Amino acid sequence: MSSIYYVAPMGNDTDSGSVDDPFRTINHAAEQAQAGDLILVHGGTYREWVNPSRGGTATAPITFKAVPGEKATIKGSAVVTDWQNVTDNVYRVKVANDLFTDGNPFATRLFGDWLEKDNGRHAGQLFCNGQAFYEAADYEEVVAGEERSTVEDYTTKTELAEPNPAASKFKWFAEVGQETTTIYANFHDLLPAECLTEITVRPCCFFPKKTGVNYITVDGFEICQAATPWAPPTAEQSGMVGPHWAKGWQIINCDLHDAKCSAISLGCPKLTNDNRFSRIHDKPGYQYQLERVFNAERAGWNKDKVGHHLVANNTIHDCGQCGVVGHLGGIFSRIEHNHVYRIGAMFEFGGWEIAGIKLHAAIDTVLVGNQIDHCALGTWFDWQCQGTRISRNLYHHNVRDLLIEMCHGPVLVDHNIFASRHTVDEFSQGVAFVNNLFAGTNTAETVLNRATPYHLPHSTAIMGYAMNYGGDDRFLNNIFVNSTQEQPAGTSYYNGSTTSLAEYIDKVKTMLPGDVELFETVRQPVMINRNAYLNGAQSFNQEQERLMLADDNLEVKVEQEGNNTYLTLNVPTELAELAGEQVTGELLGKVRIVDAAFENPDGSPVDLSSDYFGQPSTGVGPIAGLRSGQNRFLVWKGGDEDDE
């Protein structure tokens, strides 16, 4: 029979855990819980690492749930007091190193593959009334207390709002000794004695230390302030929260924020040669990532042991690297109706693994109905995204919205609103874009110097690996708007491509004899039809049915009012009257390299008949029923969980 355990700030771990005699810590409740048990956590702050050693089953998960109506917060930080004034607005505090039970984050420099500009940053953080201070390079920078440009390494600076426009002048610097760590901070007009000051002391808040702890539900918590490490795909990927290489987790209805690097990890465990490229530089990081895929397969990477997670209805914000990160461990998962924002927005460090959501090998993973905004990069799907669907998401005010890199398809991108100045980069093949709004520039490129794996349909079993030849893409019923006029938008970069597999094969045959070199020179076939191009966006020159309104101005504006987000479109009559093509999986066909169809993870036909709002999709773009003139839509309705 299942049990219910209670946890409360005034409880005691020596008590029974009953409603009248609750435990004090969530981790103690985790140690008692068996499959099917429920742990109800009363409101309060819990400064601990919840390390469940036992999981549930598919029909009887172990559920950790905040008591409805009460705010239960799990923090990876500790309160520090006794600040001593040094000079002007600079104060210092000295803490004993035994406060850090899992390594001293102020002595742990961020490190790892593809972290290309660490700026000397450490895993530790200082918070004042919940606001993260910036780490200074030295004590002198703390004393100077000058603001810095937090977007100095990015060209589209106006797209990205800072967490706090003046926050960059609040800085700290740490000196680590044998027994104590001294932290210096410039509080400017604030008095630390009147503030809540906290420092991170743990790398994780809810994360098993061992792998294979299956079927855990984490529901309704605020989880924040963890000293998470840099999490590349070639190392163990730790997060503030995550399953750590397990199956069937649900992370739902939570407010996750202020992880130094990543909030949620659906990533791989420690295998072999972690971060070896950065440590030794004897082979490319690309080569080590290939080896990691095969190492994981030998270690049991398959749909029976890993993945099938649900990440839903969360707010995820103000993290340095990723809101959700994962390599291999996020297979067959669903990421739905999350608000992900201000990820990578402090720009304390830089690298190639930073995005609101960054997933490698998201096989049969669905990203649906999320709002992703004010991020350095909204979403990045990298390597082995096969059977992946990106549907009905709202992107805006990102430096870039979506990057799909080194995947061979089938990947389905449908009914999304891409409203940033730079919308999509596709360095892949076998992608279908259906009924999307691209309100900015977009690009596509081939990659002929790296080969990545592809898989048997709906499986982790490796079928082969291939270069990215570009093309084999579908663009149907999309709206392209060149909002900036600075870079290309549309589908003209496919000019010169064949338009059918038969034509492609005929071109290859005319070049025989030969082998690999033939396929590097013949453009793959594309299916491009019934798209609308406005404000100078350019079409594929063999597109048969298209709408081009070069002189019209389709205004695209996304505005946030409180917790709600609105989309405003000024629609020309021709666009309002343009009928779309009914798109099915059968019409999209199979992708060339993988020889796989666009279908659901269970192999059933994919349904593309519903628009962004779930209404019948009849026209072009993500929203049906556009009318001539100004259109204004509520495209994200927030709730209390989105309050800042």
Partner residues linked to 619 by β-bridges: 579
**Residue 488 pLDDT level (bands cut at 50, 70, 90):** confident
Separation between Cα atoms, residue 368 and residue 373, nearest integer Å? 15
**Residue 550 pLDDT level (bands cut at 50, 70, 90):** confident
The pLDDT of residue 146 is 80
Q: Does residue 18 belong to any structural domain of this protein?
A: yes
Mean of pLDDT over the chain = 93
Residue 161 has pLDDT above 50, yes or no: no
The pLDDT of residue 145 is 82
Average pLDDT of the segment spanning 487-516: 93
Q: Do 86 and 166 fall within a single domain?
A: yes
Q: Do 156 and 83 fall within a single domain?
A: yes
Separation between Cα atoms, residue 356 and residue 366, nearest integer Å? 15
Q: Annotate 193-210 with b (16+ C-beta within 10 A) or e (fewer).
A: eeeebbbbbbbbbbbbee
The pLDDT of residue 552 is 66
Q: Do 143 and 194 fall within a single domain?
A: yes
Domain stops at, among 185, 200, 215: 200
Q: Do 169 and 180 fall within a single domain?
A: yes
DSSP secondary structure letters along 249-280: -EEES-EEEEESSEEEE------SSTTHHHHH
Give, as one character, the DSSP assignment of residue 97. Answer: G
Q: Does residue 543 belong to any structural domain of this protein?
A: no
Average pLDDT of the segment spanning 216-239: 97
Q: Do 39 and 97 fall within a single domain?
A: no
Give how many domains the chain has, as a whole number.
2
Q: What are 89-125's pLDDT values in tens digits?
A: 999 999 999 999 899 999 999 999 999 988 899 999 9
Q: Does residue 131 belong to any structural domain of this protein?
A: yes
Q: Do 121 and 19 fall within a single domain?
A: no
DSSP secondary structure letters along 285-297: HHHHHHHHHHHHH
**CATH number where 124 lies:** 2.60.40.1180
Residue 486 has pLDDT above 90, yes or no: no
Q: Strand pairing of 447-455 and 441-444?
A: unpaired
The pLDDT of residue 360 is 98
The pLDDT of residue 96 is 97
189: its two tokens: 């007009």
Separation between Cα atoms, residue 418 and residue 443, nearest integer Å? 13
Q: Do 70 and 173 fall within a single domain?
A: no
Contact 267, 240 (CB under 8 A): no
Neighbours of 508 (CB within 10 A): 15
Percent of the chain with pLDDT over 90: 89
Look at the pTM and tell me if it is higher than 0.75: yes
Partner residues linked to 350 by β-bridges: 117
Q: Does residue 248 belong to any structural domain of this protein?
A: no
Q: Do 71 and 34 fall within a single domain?
A: yes
Residue 152 has pLDDT above 60, yes or no: no
The pLDDT of residue 451 is 95
Separation between Cα atoms, residue 91 and residue 192, nearest integer Å? 8
Taking the CA atoms of residue 141, residue 144, residue 146 and residue 150 in that order, the dihedral angle to the nearest 10 degrees is 0
Average pLDDT of the segment spanning 28-37: 98
Q: Does residue 31 belong to any structural domain of this protein?
A: yes
Residue 151 has pLDDT above 60, yes or no: no
Contact 71, 43 (CB under 8 A): yes
Residue 349 has pLDDT above 50, yes or no: yes
Residue 167 has pLDDT above 70, yes or no: no
Q: Does residue 454 belong to any structural domain of this protein?
A: no
**Residue 159 pLDDT level (bands cut at 50, 70, 90):** very low
Residue 169 has pLDDT above 60, yes or no: yes
Q: What are 326-337's pLDDT values in tens digits?
A: 999 999 999 999
473 by DSSP, 3-state: which? coil
Q: Degrees (nearest 5) of the Cα angle 145, 148, 154?
A: 165
Residue 155 has pLDDT above 70, yes or no: no
Q: Degrees (nearest 5) of the Cα angle 379, 382, 383?
A: 160
The residue with tokens 């040669």 is: 273
Q: Does residue 338 belong to any structural domain of this protein?
A: no
The pLDDT of residue 641 is 43
Q: Do 63 and 159 fall within a single domain?
A: no
Residue 226 has pLDDT above 50, yes or no: yes
Residue 452 has pLDDT above 70, yes or no: yes
Domain stops at, among 27, 47, 75: 75
Q: Which of 368, 383, 357, 194 is nearest to 290 (CA)?
A: 383
Domain stops at, among 166, 200, 234: 200
Percent of the chain with pLDDT over 70: 95
Residue 153 has pLDDT above 70, yes or no: no
Q: What are 384-421's pLDDT values in tens digits?
A: 999 999 999 999 999 999 999 999 999 999 999 999 99
Q: Annotate 145-181 with b (16+ C-beta within 10 A) or e (fewer).
A: beeeebbeebebeebbebbeeebbebbbbbebeeeeb
**Residue 157 pLDDT level (bands cut at 50, 70, 90):** very low
Average pLDDT of the segment spanning 304-322: 97
Q: Does residue 138 belong to any structural domain of this protein?
A: yes
Residue 134 has pLDDT above 60, yes or no: yes
**Residue 477 pLDDT level (bands cut at 50, 70, 90):** very high
Q: Do 150 and 110 fall within a single domain?
A: yes
Q: Do 135 and 192 fall within a single domain?
A: yes
Q: Do 95 and 33 fall within a single domain?
A: no
The pLDDT of residue 165 is 45
Residue 89, domain extent: 78-200
